[in-house]
Structure 1
Amino acid sequence: MTASKDDKTPQVLYSCYYQRTREGEHFIPEHVFSYQISGTMTAWDAKNTYHSKEGDFRLSVRNRLAKFAKQPPENGEFKVISLFLDQETLQEISREINYTAKKTTLDITAIPIASNPLYVSFMESLLAYLQLPQENNQELLRLKIKEAVYLLIKINPELKDILFDFSEPGKIDLEAFMNKNFHFNVHLKRFAYLTGRSLATFKRDFQKIFQDTPSHWLQQRRLQEAYYLISNKAKTPSEVYIDVGFEDLSHFSFAFKKKYGVSPSKV
């Protein structure tokens, strides 16, 4: 996911890939309503794995850490339409319908949504809008996002308590969270936010718990996991480096050799 949490521009993305990709930040900043046109997508968080195939609809839940693998069909393209349902629009709609969300204990990253002719026709109508120049199209896209929300709560009213939950993450156990989520490649400010802390408080609490800085601890913990996967699970460096949270293979190989005295391919 590549939308910024602070970006007020309506986000409607039409993505095409000819090759398998696992790129992108591992943080979902806003709810995302998606339609899988072709190809497959696999997403996984710290607990579950989620699969989407051609024709599937899904809602990715905001403030979650997840990795995504996008696989095009044989001799074809991976295609998906994604609408980022920003908090401003959702708050506006919650006021319009006078709805206050009930507290939920949802612990899921991606919610499959059953196909419906209204969803299909709506997504198909978006393709025409996406052909227009973006700078002249923002208000139209904003209205389409609003239309999508109204469709969702009309067809799947059980989603109201998810879409209209505007609470922010509360302060949680930092040690347990980091040991569970170290392999997600996100900025420290994301980890701080998800543990209910300011960045300064996060760094201070982290030092007290781990006796180390977050950046150094994350690199060492990821390298330890990589060594285990290569030496005990017969994984290759190219399979491992993204899985443990590194951005590129060369940086991973350099850091690995510096720590263990041997390149990962020689383990």
Structure 2
Amino acid sequence: MNSEKEKKNASGIVYSCYYQRSREGEHFVAEHVLSYQISGFLVLSDGTRDYPSEQGSIRFVKRNQLLKFVKQPPANGEFKSLSIYLSQQILKDFSREYHIQAAHKEYDRPISTITTSPLLKSFMDSLLLYHNADSLKNPDLIDLKIKELLILLLQADPELKNVLFDFNEPHKMDLEAFMNKNYHFNVHLERFAYLTGRSLASFKRDFEKAFGQTPGKWLQHKRLQEAYYLISSKGRTASDVYLDLGFEDLSHFSFAFKKQFGISPTKIASI
């Protein structure tokens, strides 16, 4: 059976259905997302803490984040979720129409669980009905449903206006702290630069000032150090850790590990 079905239309509404035992991965969240956990279990991690979502929960994920995820279907069932991506253009249009602006307060919750009121639950169920009827193609209908969602969200958590309608790009932040938190994400340097509020050239220049070496060399060394610790002290295996630490394939990880430490990861595990 197909492991996963994911259907996304032009509105940014995504229905995901996953059959296999579990799935892990990572992604860059470019837009704010509201997701309804229909069945199964999801854990998101931002590198500092885990954010679990159980069946029936609704979560809000702030834009411009690097996240890892683990999807777990229920016993003898399927992982199902419905996600609505809130683009900057949609939010700017809503802000102008309803005269709502951010209060420029710091919103420090990267992922929030939204209290599932009867109205929000009914809204999500109505979207499922539209999806099942293959009716999420009418742009006028979608516009109305997104407006309805935003009104319900602001009723459930008024503080969300300070993140939904904050249209500023990432500001220049502490590069050393950011990289020590996010080094295990497998993203291009351009993405790291953007998230730290820098051009690529400024990122490379500031990086070498902070760490004394190029980003590429530092990232590989840092990831391999963490791999050595996990394998030698925590009993993990190479196949367990290479994806978590930003390596694309096991053979490249094993080659780089042996080159840095003079011993293969399998031999470290047996010591």
Q: With structure 1 as the length reference, what TM-score do the two structures score?
A: 0.88
Give the alignment of 1:54-203 within 5 angstroms: 54-131=55-132, 132=134, 136-137=137-138, 140-203=141-204
CA distance in 2, matches of 1:24, 1:143: 32
Q: Check whether the contact 1:30–1:61 (CA below 8 A) recurs between aligned residues.
A: yes
Shift of residue 183 of structure 1? 1.3
Q: Alignment partner of 2:81: what SS?
A: strand
Shift of residue 103 of structure 1? 1.9
Which amino acid is the alignment partner of residue 148 of structure 2? Answer: E
2:35 aligns to what?
Answer: 34
Q: Alignment partner of 1:232: what SS?
A: helix
Shift of residue 133 of structure 1? 8.1
1:16 aligns to what?
Answer: 17
The unaligned stretches of length 5 or more in structure 1 are: 1-7
Which amino acid is the alignment partner of residue 72 of structure 1? Answer: P
Among all aligned residue pairs of Structure 1 and Structure 2, give the percentage whose two residues are the same amino acid. Answer: 57
Residues 137, 265 of structure 1: alpha-carbon distance in 2 compared, 3 angstrom cutoff: farther
CA distance in 2, matches of 1:208, 1:137: 52
Q: Which moved more, 1:10-19 or 1:137-146?
A: 137-146
Residues 146, 264 of structure 1: alpha-carbon distance in 2 compared, 3 angstrom cutoff: farther
Residues 141, 23 of structure 1: alpha-carbon distance in 2 compared, 3 angstrom cutoff: farther
Shift of residue 193 of structure 1? 1.2
Shift of residue 48 of structure 1? 2.1
Which amino acid is the alignment partner of residue 90 of structure 1? Answer: L
* Paired residues, number: 258
Q: With structure 2 as the length reference, what TM-score do the two structures score?
A: 0.87
Which amino acid is the alignment partner of residue 26 of structure 2? Answer: G
Residues 205, 126 of structure 1: alpha-carbon distance in 2 compared, 3 angstrom cutoff: same
Greater relative CO, 1 or 2 (CA 8 Å, sep 6+): 1
1:4 aligns to what?
Answer: none
2:4 aligns to what?
Answer: none
Which amino acid is the alignment partner of residue 33 of structure 2? Answer: V
Shift of residue 238 of structure 1? 2.4
Q: Check whether the contact 2:44–2:67 (CA below 8 A) recurs between aligned residues.
A: yes
User: CA RMSD of the aligned region, Å?
Assistant: 2.1
